[in-house]
Structure formats: structure tokens, C-alpha cells
Structure 1
Amino acid sequence: MIQPTLIRKQRVILFTLLGLIGLTGILAMGMGYSSLSYNRLLPTFLGQGTFKEEFVLFSVRLPRIVITCLAGMALALSGAILQGVTRNDLADPGLIGINSGAGVAIAIFFLFFPIDPGSFVYMLPLVAFAGSLLTACLIYLFAYDKTVGLQPVKLILVGAGFSMALSGAMFVLISSSEPAKVDFIAKWLAGNIWGTDWPFIVALLPWLIILIPYALYKANRLNLLTLGEPVAVGLGVSVNRERMTLLLAAVALAAAAVSVTGGIAFIGLMAPHIAKSLVGPRNQLFLPIAILIGGWLLLLADTIGRNLADPDGIAAGIMSALIGAPYFIFLLLRKT
């Protein structure tokens, strides 16, 4: 039974995070290469802005804010599921190769297949999912041992190896491609938020609408899996089935996110750890908090990055790596 004081604490944190997301979103609306005065935000929302103000707000800033927040939520939940299923606190879709698998699939699709402008946006999450799923299956096979089951440390090492190999494959693919297409792939690799229009939100949103409730529904199963295979089996859990379905959900969330944001790492690592430090390791409590933290972290990284250098700014993937790499080293040292 969860203590009522802990539930109240979780609710306070959730409302605080929603406030932080709202405040950061408001700041992001007014900041950028084309500035928008904050005292003009409300009139523009109400349809009383100039053509330039409405274009900047509704066609440039607002879709980017929504996309960034949704992608951060998806990456955070993906990381939390991976950490629970593998029982490894260092698991992250960007660190164990899942994002790289999505990147290679997107690069192949973008470079060698005919692109239909009408369906391109909606095909990207599916293509990314196929690449991520194939990569995840290979990593799982190499990290699994019939006698001891899934080995968490081996999974991280195998995943890191796949990530480096796939990054090399990506550079081989783009080495002889057209400059315009190479520019797109390079921005994807850097984690530059490129899917900044409303159709990308429509393409990403269904994945989150389905998979976030599913992950929350499976929170108790995740609790049991983190106790280890013998305990989970003893409590009647079909370990292999639950593990595979949850891994599929984690892969799908990561693939959908990076298909529109590019290669973003460390959000899936940091958000679950911060959430656990606030309310403890119970998935029912920390998963909703991790989701909001992920959305806020990526939104904050993108807002800071795009205002540091004109006109294109610094990619959100680079900003999140600047924050996340020291945090990863800290976790690694704490584990040893």
C-alpha cells in the first residue's frame, strides 16, 4: 500500500512540473531569432496579432514547443521502461543503440526510397520503429544467456557497441550522398529538432496516446520485474512475455520521438533517476513524474540551445548531452 503522504507529494510534484513546463513554454514563445513581445502573446492567441506575430507563434514556436515536450516525454518513459526491464539504471535508448538503429533506418529511407510529401511525415515513425526493433532484437539476443537470462551489464556493453557500429554505418551511408540530403542527416545526428510543424505532432501523438496509458497500466508488472526473474516467476509473472511487450513499447516510444527530433540521448537516462529520487522506485509513483521531467528537460535544452547562437542555435541533442554526460559519469562512478 502506498502511503497517503507519498501520494500527496507526488501530486504536488506533478503540478509543479506542469507549472515549469508552462513557464518554460511561455518563455520559449517569446525568445528566438524573430522576437515576439510577451505582452503581445495573449492578444496573438486571441487572434488580435499581426500577420508576423501569428506566423511566428502558430507556425514556428508553438508546434516546436509541443513536439519537443512530447518527444521528451516519450524518451523519458522509454528510458524508465528499459531500466525496469533490464534492471540496469544506466539503460537509455540513446546509449544502448536503439536511437542509432532508428537513425540508420531513417537514413536509408531518406536517401534511397522515393519520398511522397503527403505520407513522409507519417512514415517516419514506422521506419524508425522498424530500425529500432531490429536493433533491439539483436542487442537482446547477444545479451541473453539461457542459463542466467538477460544480463544487464552485458546489455549495456553490447548496446554501446551497436551504437558505435551503427553510427559508423550512418557516416558510410551519407559519404557519397547529395549535399542537401547529407545536411538533413547531419542535423538528425546532432539532435536538431527538425520536425517543427503541426503534421509532425499528428504523427507523433497517437503513439503516446496508446503507449503512455499502456506503460502506466503495466507499472505493477515493472515493479515485479525489477525484483529479478526468480521472484517475478514465483509471483506468477510470465517474465518473457511481459519483458518482450514492454521492450516493444520502449522501442516504439523512442523511435517515434527520435523520428522527429533526431538523435537525442540522456533524457531517458536522467528523467527516471530524478523522478525516483523524488518519490522512490515504485513505478506507479515515479513514471508520471519521469514523463513530465523528460518533457521539461528537452524543452528547456531546446529553448536554451536555439537562443545561444543566431540564427540556427545549438542542437537540443548537443545541449542535452552537455547536461547528461556528466550525470552519466556520476551514475557510473556511484555504481562502481
Structure 2
Amino acid sequence: MIHPVLIRKQRIIMMLLTVLILGTVVIGMALGDAPLPYNKVFPTLFGKGDFADEFVLFSIRLPRIIITLLAGMALALSGAILQGVTRNDLAEPGIIGINSGAGVAIAVFFLFAPIEAGSFVYALPLVGFIGALFTASLIYLCAYSKSQGLQPVKLILTGVGFSMALSGMMVVIMSSADRAKVDFIAKWIAGNIWGTDWPFIWALLPWLLVLIPFILYKANSLNIFNLNEAAAIGVGISMEKERITLLLAAVALAAAAVSVTGGVAFIGLLAPHIAKGLVGPRNQLFIPVAILLGGWLLLIADTIGHNIADPNGVPAGIVAAVIGAPYFVYLLLKK
């Protein structure tokens, strides 16, 4: 049973995070190449603005904000699952190569697939999932031992190795593409939020609507993963079945997110850690907080990066890396 004080604390923190998200959304709606005055934001939002303001808000700003928020939530939840399943605080889809696997698959698909533009958006999460799943399967096989089970440290080292190898493969792929497509892939690698239209939202949203409730339902299984292998088996959990199911969910969330945001790392590392620090390690408590934190962190990274420099700003992935890399080094030294 969870203590009522912790539940109350979680609810207060979630309310504060919701306020932070809404505040950042309002700031993001007003800032940009075509500024929208704050006194026009809410009238325009409720259909009382002129055509130019409505175009800026509904066709440019709002889709980007929603996509960034949803992708941050997906990356945070993916990171929380990976850290729980592997019992390793350094596990994160960007660090252990899952994002890179999705990126290579998306790059190949973008360059060579003969597909209609209208179907392209909806195919991307599925293509990313296939690439990420193939990569995750190879990493899992390399890190798994019949005698010792999944080895968390070996998983991280193998994932980092795969990530570097896939980055090299991306360079090879780019060398055979024309200039316009190379520019797109380069921006993708940097974590540039490129899926900034309503169809990308409809492509990403179903994955979250299905997988967030599923993972919250599986929160007790993730709690049991924090025990050692023998204790977890002793309480009646089929470890391998649960581990594979949860890893598939983590891969799907990461692939869906990076298919529209590019190679964003560290959000899946930062959000779960901060959430655990705020409400404790119980998955029922920290996962909802981590989801909101991940959305807010990527949203604020994109808001800062998009407006910090002219003409195209700084990719959100670079801003997230500036924030997350020092924290990763700190965890690495601590562990």
C-alpha cells in the first residue's frame, strides 16, 4: 500500500508540472519568427483572431508544441521502462542505441522507399519501430547470458557500441544520397523537431494512448524487477516474458518519438531520475511524474533552441544534450 502522504505529494507535483507545461506552451505560442503578441494568444486560440494570427498559431506553432510535448512524454516513459527492466540507472533509448536503430531505418526508408507522400507520415513510426526492435534484439542477445541472465553493465556498453556503429552506418548512407536529403538526415541526427504538422500528431498519439495505460497497468511488474532475479521468480513473475513485453513497449515508444523529433537523447535519462528523486522509486508514483517531466523538458529545450539563434535556431536535441550530458557523466561516476 502506498502511503497517503506520498500520493498527495505526487498529485501536488503533477499539478505544478501541469502549470509549468501550460506556461511554457503559452510562451511558445507567442515566440517565433512571426511573433504573436500575448494579448492575442487566447483570443486567437478561441477563434477570435484574424487570419494571419490563426495561421501562425494553428498551422505553425501549436502542432510543433503538441508534437514536442508528446515525444518528450514517450521518451521519458521509454527511459523509465528501460531503467526498470535492466536495473540500470544509465539505460536510456538514446544512449543504448535504440534511437540510432530507428534513425537508420527511417533514413533508408526516406531515401529509397517508393511511397506516396500522404502515407509517409503514418509509416514512419512503424519503420522506426522495426529498426529499433532489430537493434534492441541484437543488443539484448549480446548482453544476455544463460547462466547470469541480462547483465546491466554489459547492456549499456553493448548499446553504446551499437550506437556508434549505427552512427557510422548513417554517414555511409548519407554519402550516397543527394544534397537535399542529406540536409534532412543531418537535421534529424541533431534532434531537430521536423514533424511539425497535424498528421504527425495523429501518427504519434495512438502509440501513447495505448502504451501509457498499459505501462501503468504493468507498474507492479516493474517494481518486482527491482528485486533480484530469484526473488522476482519467487513471487510468481515470468521474468523473460515480462521483460520482453516491457522492452517491446519501450522500443515502440522511443521509435514513435524519434520518428518525428529526430535523434533526441537524455530526456529518457533525466525525467525518470528527477521523478524518482521527487516521489520515490515506486513505479506507480514516479512514472506519471516522469511522463509530465519528459514532455516539459523537451518542450522547454525546443522553445529555447528554436528562439535562441537566427535564422533556424538550435536543434532541441543539442539543447537536451547540453543539459543531459553532464548529468550522465555524474551518474556514470556515481555508479
- The two structures have a TM-score, normalised by structure 2, of 0.99
Give runs of aligned pairs for residues 116-265 of structure 1, distance below 5 A.
116-265=116-265
Distance between the aligned counterparts of 2:307 and 2:118, measured in 1? 31
Alignment partner, residue 52 of structure 1? 52
User: Deviation of residue 115 (structure 1)?
Assistant: 2.8
Secondary structure of 1:118's aligned partner: helix
Alignment partner, residue 108 of structure 2? 108
Secondary structure of 1:32's aligned partner: coil
Distance between the aligned counterparts of 1:311 and 1:47, measured in 2? 30
Distance between the aligned counterparts of 1:102 and 1:43, measured in 2? 40
Unpaired runs of 5+ in structure 2?
A: none
User: Deviation of residue 311 (structure 1)?
Assistant: 2.1
Distance between the aligned counterparts of 2:61 and 2:7, measured in 1? 35
Alignment partner, residue 20 of structure 1? 20
Distance between the aligned counterparts of 1:240 and 1:229, measured in 2? 10
| Residue identity matched to 1:39 | N
User: Deviation of residue 39 (structure 1)?
Assistant: 0.1
Distance between the aligned counterparts of 2:225 and 2:308, measured in 1? 43
Distance between the aligned counterparts of 1:203 and 1:46, measured in 2? 25
Q: Is 1:8 the equivalent of 2:8?
A: yes
Distance between the aligned counterparts of 1:175 and 1:269, measured in 2? 32
Distance between the aligned counterparts of 2:251 and 2:77, measured in 1? 10
Distance between the aligned counterparts of 1:273 and 1:197, measured in 2? 31
Distance between the aligned counterparts of 1:228 and 1:178, measured in 2? 51
Segments of 4+ moved more than 6 angstroms: none
Distance between the aligned counterparts of 1:8 and 1:236, measured in 2? 31
Distance between the aligned counterparts of 1:137 and 1:101, measured in 2? 11
Q: Is 1:76 the equivalent of 2:76?
A: yes
| Residue identity matched to 1:193 | I
Distance between the aligned counterparts of 1:228 and 1:27, measured in 2? 46
| Residue identity matched to 1:92 | E
User: Deviation of residue 278 (structure 1)?
Assistant: 0.4
Secondary structure of 2:214's aligned partner: helix
Deviations 1:65-101 (A, max 9, x none): 0000000000000000000000000000000000000
| Residue identity matched to 1:205 | L
Distance between the aligned counterparts of 1:212 and 1:4, measured in 2? 23
User: Deviation of residue 50 (structure 1)?
Assistant: 1.8
User: Deviation of residue 333 (structure 1)?
Assistant: 1.3
After superposing the two structures, state which structure 1 stretch, 85-94 or 111-120, moved more. Answer: 111-120
Deviations 1:33-55 (A, max 9, x none): 11100000111112221221111
Supply the RMSD in Å over aligned alpha carbons.
0.6
Distance between the aligned counterparts of 1:171 and 1:34, measured in 2? 35
User: Deviation of residue 153 (structure 1)?
Assistant: 0.2
| Residue identity matched to 1:38 | Y
Distance between the aligned counterparts of 2:29 and 2:282, measured in 1? 35
Alignment partner, residue 328 of structure 2? 328
Distance between the aligned counterparts of 1:47 and 1:14, measured in 2? 29
Secondary structure of 2:200's aligned partner: helix
Distance between the aligned counterparts of 2:110 and 2:198, measured in 1? 20
Deviations 1:101-160 (A, max 9, x none): 000000110111113111100000000000000000000000001100000000000000
- The two structures have a TM-score, normalised by structure 1, of 0.99
After superposing the two structures, state which structure 1 stretch, 326-335 or 83-92, moved more. Answer: 326-335
Secondary structure of 1:195's aligned partner: coil
| Residue identity matched to 2:44 | T
Q: Number of residues paired by the alignment?
A: 335
| Residue identity matched to 1:144 | Y
Distance between the aligned counterparts of 1:98 and 1:213, measured in 2? 22
| Residue identity matched to 1:152 | P
Distance between the aligned counterparts of 2:193 and 2:228, measured in 1? 38
Alignment partner, residue 296 of structure 2? 296
| Residue identity matched to 1:113 | A
